[in-house]
């Protein structure tokens, strides 16, 4: 003889997953910057187009070589062309898109990140790889990303060491460096 368990009425139970999803969606909507509109799309595409063209010109100056014997500018040139192509696509369809965000105070974080990356490029030939790379990680993690000092120090040291080993020993790229192992 088998006994049947009473059926529970699942319609009375709250759907916890749906409530969590709705709560996360509300929090994300509250944190999102205000929408910018098509003008922001077009301005952003124009800036990216100028940067892509500039990068392509600089990469071409390093020498492209050939596919069998690539020059130092071949892959940066190829990436620059992709950036230019994507910027042109955004210029064409940007007026129909509405997902651009207004420039806010936090938009300057992107400029600060770019400026520190340029600083890395300028300091690299004079003082080597280690100090500028470590400083870049600290600035990006602590000041731009808002990480704690503990995680900033640990991640910065590990990242710099990983890139040091990758570039100098695995890829055998002759970067200027202070420490030799």
Q: State yes or no: pLDDT of 93 exceeds 60.
A: yes
Question: Mean pLDDT for the chain?
Answer: 87
Cα 143 from Cα 116, distance rounded (Å): 12
Please give the share of the chain, as a percent, with pLDDT higher than 90: 48
Is the pTM value of this prediction over 0.75? no
pLDDT digits (tens, 9 = 90+) for 33-88: 777 788 888 888 999 999 999 999 999 999 998 888 888 899 999 999 999 999 99
User: What pLDDT does 4 receive?
Assistant: 58
């Amino acid at each position: 003889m088998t006994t049947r368990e009473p059926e529970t009425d699942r319609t009375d139970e709250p759907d916890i997953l749906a409530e969590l999803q709705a709560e996360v969606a509300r929090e994300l909507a509250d944190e999102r910057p205000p929408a910018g509109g098509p003008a922001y799309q077009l301005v952003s595409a124009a800036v990216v187009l100028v940067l892509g063209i500039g990068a392509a010109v600089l990469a071409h100056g390093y020498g492209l070589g050939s596919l069998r014997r690539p020059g130092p500018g071949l892959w940066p040139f190829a990436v620059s062309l992709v950036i230019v192509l994507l910027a042109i696509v955004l210029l064409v369809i940007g007026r129909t898109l509405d997902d651009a965000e207004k420039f806010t105070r936090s938009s300057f974080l992107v400029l600060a990140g770019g400026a520190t990356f340029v600083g890395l490029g300028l300091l690299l030939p004079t003082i080597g790889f280690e100090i500028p790379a470590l400083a870049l990680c600290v600035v990006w993690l602590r000041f731009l990303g808002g990480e704690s000092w503990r995680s900033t120090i640990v991640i910065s040291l590990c990242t710099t060491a990983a890139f040091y080993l990758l570039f100098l020993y695995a890829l055998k790229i002759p970067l200027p460096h202070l420490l030799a192992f």
